[in-house]
Structure 1
Amino acid sequence: MPEGLKLDTPRLDDGAALWRIARDSQVLDLNSSYSYLLWCRDYATTSVVARDTAGEPAGFITGYLRPQQARTLFVWQVAVDHAHRGRGLAAAMLDGLVARTGEELGVEVMETTVTPDNAPSNRLFTSFAERHAAAVSRDVLLDADVFPESGHEPEVLYRIGPIPGLVRH
Protein backbone atom coordinates (compact mmCIF):
# COMPACT_ATOMS: atom_id res chain seq x y z
CA MET A 1 0.00 0.00 0.00
CA PRO A 2 1.47 3.38 -0.93
CA GLU A 3 2.52 5.44 2.09
CA GLY A 4 -0.15 7.73 3.49
CA LEU A 5 -3.05 5.85 1.95
CA LYS A 6 -5.38 3.26 3.42
CA LEU A 7 -8.08 0.99 2.05
CA ASP A 8 -11.66 1.38 3.22
CA THR A 9 -15.21 0.46 2.31
CA PRO A 10 -16.98 3.18 0.31
CA ARG A 11 -19.70 5.23 2.02
CA LEU A 12 -22.63 7.00 0.43
CA ASP A 13 -20.95 10.38 0.87
CA ASP A 14 -17.97 9.14 -1.22
CA GLY A 15 -20.14 8.86 -4.34
CA ALA A 16 -19.52 12.42 -5.58
CA ALA A 17 -15.74 12.06 -5.21
CA LEU A 18 -15.78 8.72 -7.05
CA TRP A 19 -17.75 10.33 -9.88
CA ARG A 20 -15.18 13.17 -10.09
CA ILE A 21 -12.23 10.74 -10.11
CA ALA A 22 -13.90 8.72 -12.91
CA ARG A 23 -14.71 11.89 -14.88
CA ASP A 24 -11.19 13.26 -14.49
CA SER A 25 -9.62 9.96 -15.61
CA GLN A 26 -10.69 10.82 -19.17
CA VAL A 27 -10.58 7.12 -20.06
CA LEU A 28 -13.43 5.50 -18.12
CA ASP A 29 -16.98 5.39 -19.38
CA LEU A 30 -18.51 7.97 -17.05
CA ASN A 31 -21.71 6.82 -15.38
CA SER A 32 -24.21 9.26 -13.89
CA SER A 33 -23.35 10.78 -10.52
CA TYR A 34 -26.48 9.08 -9.21
CA SER A 35 -25.05 5.65 -10.10
CA TYR A 36 -21.85 6.29 -8.09
CA LEU A 37 -23.94 7.31 -5.08
CA LEU A 38 -26.02 4.14 -5.35
CA TRP A 39 -22.90 2.05 -5.92
CA CYS A 40 -21.45 3.32 -2.64
CA ARG A 41 -24.69 2.41 -0.90
CA ASP A 42 -25.65 -0.90 -2.51
CA TYR A 43 -22.31 -2.42 -3.56
CA ALA A 44 -19.96 -1.14 -0.84
CA THR A 45 -19.09 -4.67 0.31
CA THR A 46 -17.80 -5.54 -3.17
CA SER A 47 -16.02 -2.22 -3.76
CA VAL A 48 -13.05 -0.41 -2.22
CA VAL A 49 -11.87 3.16 -1.81
CA ALA A 50 -8.33 4.30 -1.03
CA ARG A 51 -8.23 7.28 1.32
CA ASP A 52 -5.51 9.88 1.75
CA THR A 53 -4.39 11.22 5.14
CA ALA A 54 -7.35 13.64 5.16
CA GLY A 55 -9.77 10.75 4.58
CA GLU A 56 -10.58 11.83 1.01
CA PRO A 57 -10.87 9.24 -1.78
CA ALA A 58 -7.66 8.91 -3.81
CA GLY A 59 -8.88 5.98 -5.89
CA PHE A 60 -11.57 3.35 -6.06
CA ILE A 61 -12.68 0.03 -7.49
CA THR A 62 -16.34 -0.76 -7.98
CA GLY A 63 -17.40 -4.37 -8.23
CA TYR A 64 -20.28 -6.75 -7.71
CA LEU A 65 -20.94 -10.46 -7.27
CA ARG A 66 -22.25 -12.12 -10.42
CA PRO A 67 -25.91 -12.99 -9.78
CA GLN A 68 -25.61 -16.55 -11.13
CA GLN A 69 -22.03 -17.08 -9.90
CA ALA A 70 -21.90 -15.82 -6.32
CA ARG A 71 -18.21 -16.69 -5.89
CA THR A 72 -17.22 -14.48 -8.84
CA LEU A 73 -16.38 -10.82 -8.27
CA PHE A 74 -16.89 -8.69 -11.36
CA VAL A 75 -14.70 -5.58 -11.29
CA TRP A 76 -16.61 -2.74 -12.94
CA GLN A 77 -14.28 0.26 -12.73
CA VAL A 78 -10.79 0.99 -11.42
CA ALA A 79 -9.72 4.62 -11.07
CA VAL A 80 -6.90 6.47 -9.35
CA ASP A 81 -6.83 10.24 -8.88
CA HIS A 82 -4.11 11.89 -10.99
CA ALA A 83 -2.18 13.00 -7.88
CA HIS A 84 -1.78 9.39 -6.73
CA ARG A 85 -0.90 7.64 -9.99
CA GLY A 86 2.31 5.72 -10.53
CA ARG A 87 2.56 4.46 -6.95
CA GLY A 88 0.98 1.02 -7.32
CA LEU A 89 -2.35 2.10 -5.83
CA ALA A 90 -4.54 0.31 -8.38
CA ALA A 91 -2.75 -3.00 -7.71
CA ALA A 92 -2.94 -2.50 -3.93
CA MET A 93 -6.68 -1.76 -4.13
CA LEU A 94 -7.27 -4.81 -6.33
CA ASP A 95 -5.29 -7.09 -4.02
CA GLY A 96 -7.09 -5.70 -0.96
CA LEU A 97 -10.56 -5.96 -2.49
CA VAL A 98 -10.09 -9.54 -3.68
CA ALA A 99 -8.63 -10.59 -0.32
CA ARG A 100 -11.52 -8.98 1.59
CA THR A 101 -14.26 -10.40 -0.65
CA GLY A 102 -12.57 -13.80 -0.56
CA GLU A 103 -12.63 -13.79 3.22
CA GLU A 104 -16.04 -12.19 3.77
CA LEU A 105 -18.02 -13.39 0.74
CA GLY A 106 -16.25 -16.52 -0.48
CA VAL A 107 -15.00 -15.01 -3.75
CA GLU A 108 -12.79 -17.44 -5.68
CA VAL A 109 -12.72 -15.90 -9.17
CA MET A 110 -12.46 -12.36 -10.52
CA GLU A 111 -13.78 -11.12 -13.84
CA THR A 112 -13.50 -7.81 -15.61
CA THR A 113 -13.62 -6.48 -19.15
CA VAL A 114 -10.91 -4.41 -20.79
CA THR A 115 -10.70 -2.88 -24.25
CA PRO A 116 -7.67 -3.98 -26.29
CA ASP A 117 -6.23 -0.42 -26.38
CA ASN A 118 -6.25 0.00 -22.57
CA ALA A 119 -2.64 -1.00 -21.87
CA PRO A 120 -2.63 0.04 -18.17
CA SER A 121 -5.69 -2.09 -17.36
CA ASN A 122 -4.39 -5.02 -19.40
CA ARG A 123 -1.14 -4.85 -17.37
CA LEU A 124 -3.02 -4.44 -14.05
CA PHE A 125 -5.11 -7.60 -14.47
CA THR A 126 -2.36 -9.67 -16.08
CA SER A 127 0.04 -8.79 -13.25
CA PHE A 128 -2.67 -9.55 -10.66
CA ALA A 129 -3.00 -13.07 -12.09
CA GLU A 130 0.78 -13.51 -12.08
CA ARG A 131 1.17 -12.24 -8.48
CA HIS A 132 -1.48 -14.66 -7.28
CA ALA A 133 -0.44 -17.62 -9.47
CA ALA A 134 -3.96 -17.72 -10.89
CA ALA A 135 -5.04 -18.92 -14.31
CA VAL A 136 -6.31 -16.20 -16.63
CA SER A 137 -8.44 -16.57 -19.74
CA ARG A 138 -9.35 -13.82 -22.20
CA ASP A 139 -12.30 -13.94 -24.58
CA VAL A 140 -14.28 -11.21 -26.30
CA LEU A 141 -17.45 -10.72 -24.27
CA LEU A 142 -18.95 -7.79 -26.17
CA ASP A 143 -18.10 -7.15 -29.81
CA ALA A 144 -17.86 -3.54 -30.95
CA ASP A 145 -21.04 -3.87 -33.04
CA VAL A 146 -23.31 -4.49 -30.02
CA PHE A 147 -22.68 -0.99 -28.65
CA PRO A 148 -25.16 1.68 -29.73
CA GLU A 149 -22.44 4.27 -30.38
CA SER A 150 -19.86 3.85 -33.11
CA GLY A 151 -16.18 3.61 -32.32
CA HIS A 152 -16.47 1.54 -29.14
CA GLU A 153 -13.84 -1.16 -29.01
CA PRO A 154 -14.72 -4.74 -28.08
CA GLU A 155 -14.71 -5.58 -24.38
CA VAL A 156 -12.43 -8.52 -23.62
CA LEU A 157 -13.48 -10.60 -20.62
CA TYR A 158 -10.66 -11.50 -18.25
CA ARG A 159 -11.54 -14.45 -16.04
CA ILE A 160 -8.93 -14.92 -13.31
CA GLY A 161 -9.10 -17.89 -11.01
CA PRO A 162 -9.52 -19.82 -9.02
CA ILE A 163 -7.28 -17.55 -6.97
CA PRO A 164 -5.02 -19.60 -4.68
CA GLY A 165 -4.54 -18.51 -1.09
CA LEU A 166 -7.84 -16.74 -0.57
CA VAL A 167 -9.34 -17.22 2.87
CA ARG A 168 -12.82 -18.56 2.28
CA HIS A 169 -15.67 -18.70 4.73
Structure 2
Amino acid sequence: MTAASELLLDIPAIEDGSALWRIARDSRTLDLNSPYSYLLWCRDFARTSVVARSPHGGAVGFVTGYVRPDSPRTLVVWQVAVDAAHRGRGLAGAMLDDLARRAAAEGVREVETTITPDNAASHRLFMSFAARHGARTEREVLFDGGLFPGAHQPEVLYRIGPLA
Protein backbone atom coordinates (compact mmCIF):
# COMPACT_ATOMS: atom_id res chain seq x y z
CA MET A 1 0.00 0.00 0.00
CA THR A 2 1.41 3.31 -1.15
CA ALA A 3 0.49 6.67 0.37
CA ALA A 4 -1.16 9.11 -2.03
CA SER A 5 1.76 11.51 -1.54
CA GLU A 6 4.15 8.90 -2.98
CA LEU A 7 2.22 8.67 -6.25
CA LEU A 8 2.92 10.69 -9.39
CA LEU A 9 -0.01 12.55 -10.92
CA ASP A 10 0.52 12.60 -14.66
CA ILE A 11 -1.12 13.08 -18.03
CA PRO A 12 -2.25 9.69 -19.36
CA ALA A 13 -0.54 8.12 -22.36
CA ILE A 14 -2.16 5.77 -24.86
CA GLU A 15 -0.34 2.90 -23.17
CA ASP A 16 -2.36 3.60 -19.99
CA GLY A 17 -5.68 2.84 -21.70
CA SER A 18 -5.87 -0.84 -20.78
CA ALA A 19 -4.97 -0.12 -17.14
CA LEU A 20 -7.69 2.54 -16.95
CA TRP A 21 -10.19 0.04 -18.35
CA ARG A 22 -9.10 -2.54 -15.74
CA ILE A 23 -9.40 -0.04 -12.88
CA ALA A 24 -12.87 1.01 -14.10
CA ARG A 25 -13.95 -2.64 -14.45
CA ASP A 26 -12.66 -3.54 -11.01
CA SER A 27 -14.40 -0.57 -9.38
CA ARG A 28 -17.74 -2.36 -9.84
CA THR A 29 -19.49 1.01 -9.61
CA LEU A 30 -18.63 2.76 -12.87
CA ASP A 31 -20.38 2.21 -16.17
CA LEU A 32 -17.72 0.25 -18.01
CA ASN A 33 -16.89 1.54 -21.47
CA SER A 34 -15.15 -0.52 -24.15
CA PRO A 35 -11.37 -0.97 -23.87
CA TYR A 36 -11.13 0.93 -27.17
CA SER A 37 -12.80 3.99 -25.62
CA TYR A 38 -10.17 4.17 -22.87
CA LEU A 39 -7.42 4.06 -25.50
CA LEU A 40 -9.13 6.90 -27.39
CA TRP A 41 -9.60 8.85 -24.17
CA CYS A 42 -5.87 8.59 -23.43
CA ARG A 43 -5.12 9.87 -26.93
CA ASP A 44 -7.78 12.53 -27.52
CA PHE A 45 -8.54 13.82 -24.00
CA ALA A 46 -5.24 13.24 -22.20
CA ARG A 47 -4.76 16.95 -21.41
CA THR A 48 -8.10 17.02 -19.59
CA SER A 49 -7.49 13.79 -17.70
CA VAL A 50 -5.08 12.60 -15.02
CA VAL A 51 -3.54 9.27 -14.09
CA ALA A 52 -1.97 8.40 -10.75
CA ARG A 53 1.16 6.28 -11.08
CA SER A 54 2.78 4.06 -8.49
CA PRO A 55 6.52 4.48 -7.83
CA HIS A 56 7.01 1.73 -10.46
CA GLY A 57 5.00 3.68 -13.08
CA GLY A 58 1.83 1.61 -13.20
CA ALA A 59 -1.57 3.32 -13.19
CA VAL A 60 -3.41 3.05 -9.87
CA GLY A 61 -6.11 5.68 -10.41
CA PHE A 62 -7.49 8.08 -12.97
CA VAL A 63 -9.85 10.92 -13.72
CA THR A 64 -11.14 11.32 -17.26
CA GLY A 65 -12.61 14.59 -18.44
CA TYR A 66 -13.15 16.87 -21.38
CA VAL A 67 -13.93 20.52 -22.03
CA ARG A 68 -17.51 20.95 -23.25
CA PRO A 69 -17.38 22.05 -26.91
CA ASP A 70 -20.24 24.54 -26.44
CA SER A 71 -18.94 25.77 -23.07
CA PRO A 72 -15.12 26.10 -23.19
CA ARG A 73 -14.91 27.26 -19.57
CA THR A 74 -16.50 24.01 -18.34
CA LEU A 75 -14.61 20.79 -17.60
CA VAL A 76 -16.82 17.70 -17.57
CA VAL A 77 -15.45 14.98 -15.32
CA TRP A 78 -16.47 11.68 -16.89
CA GLN A 79 -15.06 9.04 -14.56
CA VAL A 80 -13.02 8.88 -11.35
CA ALA A 81 -11.58 5.57 -10.21
CA VAL A 82 -8.92 4.37 -7.79
CA ASP A 83 -7.51 0.86 -7.59
CA ALA A 84 -8.80 -0.93 -4.48
CA ALA A 85 -5.34 -1.10 -2.87
CA HIS A 86 -5.04 2.72 -2.97
CA ARG A 87 -8.50 3.79 -1.79
CA GLY A 88 -9.19 5.73 1.37
CA ARG A 89 -6.11 7.98 1.28
CA GLY A 90 -7.42 11.02 -0.58
CA LEU A 91 -6.12 10.04 -4.01
CA ALA A 92 -9.37 10.78 -5.85
CA GLY A 93 -9.48 14.28 -4.36
CA ALA A 94 -5.81 14.88 -5.14
CA MET A 95 -6.34 13.85 -8.76
CA LEU A 96 -9.39 16.14 -9.07
CA ASP A 97 -7.45 19.05 -7.56
CA ASP A 98 -4.54 18.47 -9.94
CA LEU A 99 -6.82 18.33 -12.96
CA ALA A 100 -8.74 21.43 -11.85
CA ARG A 101 -5.47 23.34 -11.42
CA ARG A 102 -4.32 22.41 -14.92
CA ALA A 103 -7.73 23.12 -16.45
CA ALA A 104 -7.98 26.50 -14.70
CA ALA A 105 -4.67 27.49 -16.32
CA GLU A 106 -6.43 26.85 -19.66
CA GLY A 107 -9.43 29.03 -18.75
CA VAL A 108 -11.79 26.52 -17.13
CA ARG A 109 -13.90 28.08 -14.37
CA GLU A 110 -16.51 25.38 -13.74
CA VAL A 111 -16.62 21.61 -13.29
CA GLU A 112 -19.55 19.41 -14.18
CA THR A 113 -20.10 15.74 -13.43
CA THR A 114 -23.04 13.40 -13.10
CA ILE A 115 -23.66 11.12 -10.16
CA THR A 116 -26.38 8.54 -9.57
CA PRO A 117 -28.39 9.06 -6.37
CA ASP A 118 -26.99 5.89 -4.75
CA ASN A 119 -23.32 6.86 -5.19
CA ALA A 120 -22.60 8.40 -1.79
CA ALA A 121 -18.81 8.22 -2.24
CA SER A 122 -18.89 10.34 -5.41
CA HIS A 123 -21.30 12.79 -3.80
CA ARG A 124 -18.86 13.25 -0.87
CA LEU A 125 -15.89 13.53 -3.25
CA PHE A 126 -17.41 16.32 -5.33
CA MET A 127 -18.94 18.20 -2.39
CA SER A 128 -15.56 18.26 -0.64
CA PHE A 129 -13.92 19.31 -3.93
CA ALA A 130 -16.37 22.24 -4.14
CA ALA A 131 -15.62 23.24 -0.53
CA ARG A 132 -11.83 23.13 -1.10
CA HIS A 133 -12.23 25.38 -4.14
CA GLY A 134 -14.66 27.82 -2.56
CA ALA A 135 -17.29 27.00 -5.19
CA ARG A 136 -21.01 26.61 -4.99
CA THR A 137 -22.75 23.47 -6.23
CA GLU A 138 -25.98 23.30 -8.21
CA ARG A 139 -27.71 19.97 -8.80
CA GLU A 140 -30.42 18.88 -11.21
CA VAL A 141 -31.36 15.69 -13.02
CA LEU A 142 -29.57 15.72 -16.37
CA PHE A 143 -30.66 12.32 -17.70
CA ASP A 144 -33.74 10.61 -16.31
CA GLY A 145 -33.32 6.87 -15.78
CA GLY A 146 -35.93 6.18 -18.47
CA LEU A 147 -33.62 7.54 -21.16
CA PHE A 148 -31.22 4.62 -20.70
CA PRO A 149 -31.68 1.17 -22.19
CA GLY A 150 -32.50 -1.22 -19.37
CA ALA A 151 -32.65 -0.29 -15.71
CA HIS A 152 -30.58 2.76 -14.79
CA GLN A 153 -30.83 5.39 -12.10
CA PRO A 154 -31.07 9.03 -13.11
CA GLU A 155 -27.81 10.89 -13.63
CA VAL A 156 -27.79 14.01 -11.46
CA LEU A 157 -25.72 16.88 -12.87
CA TYR A 158 -23.43 18.59 -10.36
CA ARG A 159 -22.33 22.02 -11.58
CA ILE A 160 -19.47 23.31 -9.42
CA GLY A 161 -18.14 26.82 -9.77
CA PRO A 162 -16.84 29.30 -10.16
CA LEU A 163 -13.55 27.78 -9.04
CA ALA A 164 -11.55 30.04 -6.74
Q: TM-score band, normalised by the shorter chain?
A: over 0.9
- In structure 2, the partner of 1:135 is 136
Structure 1 segment 1-169 matched on structure 2, within 5 A: 2-103=4-105, 105-150=106-151, 152-164=152-164
RMSD across aligned C-alpha pairs, in angstroms?
0.8
Q: Distance in 1 between matches of 2:160 and 2:145?
A: 23
Counterpart residue identity of residue 143, structure 2: L
- How far apart are the structure 1 equivalents of 2:116 and 2:27? 16
d(CA) in 1 for partners of 2:58 and 2:132? Answer: 28
Report the CA distance between 1:127 and its aligned residue: 0.6
Distance in 2 (alpha carbons) for counterparts of 1:144 and 1:14: 31
Structure 2 unaligned residues grouped into runs of 5+: none
Secondary structure of 1:79's aligned partner? strand
What is the SS of the residue equivalent to 1:3? helix
Q: Following the alignment from structure 1 to structure 2, what is the Cα–Cα distance between the partners of residues 72 and 149?
A: 30
Cα distance in structure 2, aligned partners of 1:140 and 1:5: 35
Instruction: Give the whole-Å Cα distance in 2 for the aligned partners of 1:84 and 1:136.
Output: 27
4+ residue stretches of structure 1 with deviation over 6 A? none
Partner of 1:94, secondary structure, is helix
Code of the aligned partner of 1:9: I
The CA distance in 1 between the partners of 2:5 and 2:115, in whole Å, is 28
Residue 132 of structure 1 deviates from its aligned partner by 1.1
CA distance in 2: counterparts of 1:19 and 1:148, whole angstroms: 22
Q: Secondary structure at the match of 2:123?
A: helix
**Shift of residue 4, structure 1, vs aligned partner:** 1.6
Query: Using the alignment, how far apart are the partners of 1:3 and 1:92 within structure 2?
Result: 9
Structure 2 SS opposite 1:136: strand
For 2:38 and 2:68, the matched residues in 1 are separated by 19
Deviations for 1:118-145, whole angstroms, at most 9, x for unmatched residues? Answer: 0000000001111111011000000111
